[in-house]
Amino acid sequence: MSKKLVSVALLLAFVVGSATAVQTNAQLVQDALPQITAWRRDLHQHPELSNREVRTAKLVADELKKLGYEVRTGIAHNGVVGVLKGGKPGPKLAIRADMDALPVTEQVDLPFASKATGEYLGKSVGVMHACGHDAHTAMTLGLAVIFAKLRAELPGELMLIFQPAEEGAPAGEEGGAPLMVKEGVFKDFKPDAVFGMHVQSTLPVGVVAVRAGGAMASSDTFRIVVHGRQSHGAMPWQGIDPIVTAAEIVTSAQTIVSRQLNISKDPAVVTFGIFNGGQRFNIVPETTELQGTIRAFDEGMRKQALASLKNIAEHVAAANGATVETQIPLGDSNPVNSNDPALTVRVRTSLESTLGKMHVIESPRWMASEDFPQLALSVPAPSVYFFVGATPAGTDPATAPTNHSPKFFLDEGALDIGTRAMLQAGLDYLGYHGD
């Protein structure tokens, strides 16, 4: 046989082998899917708020131990980590799933709908997996099952991170990715890459979206307290009105994005979500409180927005004879969730090989934020985070209830797609080809 024919034969064998591996991986997911679905429904029916994921953490830890993973618990309160060492040398990969639910009362008619309640800001509230973290946890447990089956031929090492409090720790508490890092989640395992995924209502089931660079915005919260002087509402000239002053701060702050930031470069958002002042219609109060969020994709623009808001608050207050107490930013901030360009190319190739090119699209930038990037930045290691469509076929994703809505609905077809996508990305990164 000529050298040319040998080369063609080898190439054909590689292509056929790769296709066979993808088919085998898809079958592995199909075999695990009933259990993944059962886990998801159980978690959906028993959601737990941030830093309160006790039942969820126990379920995860118990399953990982059954599979032979090295398990650590109690990281950042309820975080669970499972490490699996493959039978061959290779790189180290971390895959992260979040576990917490939201203070939302479910309005979806499901046989496994949540009836759970919890305490949030001192009030009894409904609790719901309104952002799909139940799916993330179930899919990643499914991955744990599959990776354990392949252990003998698996190159490298795998860490599965089940993170609490992605939605934010309760007031006065630490939590989430920052606390996991602080408590040494990577003390004994330094990943070469970190992967994450999120189900998304704006995409139809069957579609996965990924983009290089900034995929999700940075986020900062802020708090501004305006101090005035109380007076009777009939004689406001005897006081200093913090409500009017706060209203002027809100109005003036709209110029930060519209007139001060170069939004032709990157988008940014300044949003006020709390305006709290006064207790009676005819009394000018002593104080008024503002809280909100700043989102950006560029660090320079982020810093400019924070500085501009502080400047506006102080000068508007002074012009009205009031004073301000500012916490800008307030608490932990989330950096831009930025996908490493070179690694994104590799991951996208993996996604296309298992789902088909037509089912993998470039994700638009999302102004929502995540604490996921803090994990990779702490190592540091390149990371990739992609989105999995959750809206049923026949429903316009543009009109579907969004993540965090009490009517958020996950088509369980997303469990198959998301598990297949992450499995293929993980196996390809580790260098496993079904041999």
Q: What is the mean pLDDT of each run of 10 residues along the chain (435 residues)?
A: 46 47 85 98 98 98 98 98 98 98 98 97 95 98 98 97 96 95 98 98 97 97 98 97 98 98 96 97 97 96 98 98 97 93 98 97 95 97 98 95 97 98 98 80
- Comparing CA positions, the residue from 432, 419, 426 lying closest to residue 37 is 419
Give the pLDDT confidence score for residue 9 in this predicted structure: 43
Helix (H, G, I), strand (E, B) or coil at 45: helix
User: CB count, 10 Å around CB of 262?
Assistant: 11
Q: What is the rounded distance in angstroms from the CA atom of residue 357 to the CA atom of residue 312?
A: 48
Give the pLDDT confidence score for residue 129 in this predicted structure: 98
Is the Cα torsion angle 418, 420, 423, 426 positive or negative in sign? Answer: negative
Give yes or no: residues 101 and 237 share one domain: no
Give yes or no: residues 28 and 161 share one domain: yes
Give yes or no: residues 98 and 247 share one domain: no
Give the pLDDT confidence score for residue 68 in this predicted structure: 98
Give yes or no: residues 64 and 164 share one domain: yes
User: CB count, 10 Å around CB of 370?
Assistant: 24
Tell me how many domains the chain contains. Answer: 2
Q: Which residue, of 311, 327, 343, is where some domain finishes? A: 327
Whole-number CA gyration radius for the chain? 25
Give yes or no: residues 41 and 102 share one domain: yes
Active site residues: 100, 166
Domain CATH code at residue 20: 3.40.630.10
Give yes or no: residues 201 and 146 share one domain: yes
Give the pLDDT confidence score for residue 16 in this predicted structure: 47
Give the pLDDT confidence score for residue 34 in this predicted structure: 98
pTM listed for this prediction: 0.91
Q: Is 386 in contact with 363 (CB distance < 8 Å)?
A: yes
Give the pLDDT confidence score for residue 7 in this predicted structure: 47
Give the pLDDT confidence score for residue 13 in this predicted structure: 43
Q: Which residue has the tokens 């994450």?
A: 196
Give the pLDDT confidence score for residue 435 in this predicted structure: 56
Give yes or no: residues 42 and 171 share one domain: yes
Q: What is the rounded distance in angstroms from the CA atom of residue 367 to the CA atom of residue 271?
A: 12
Give the pLDDT confidence score for residue 24 in this predicted structure: 86
Domain assignment of residue 170, yes or no = yes
Domain CATH code at residue 245: 3.30.70.360
Strand partners, 292: 222, 272
- DSSP H or E run through 214: strand 213-216
Structural domain boundaries, residue 299: 218-327
Give the pLDDT confidence score for residue 180 in this predicted structure: 98
Strand partners, 272: 292
Strands, DSSP E only, in 56-169?
70-75, 79-85, 88-98, 117-120, 123-126, 155-163
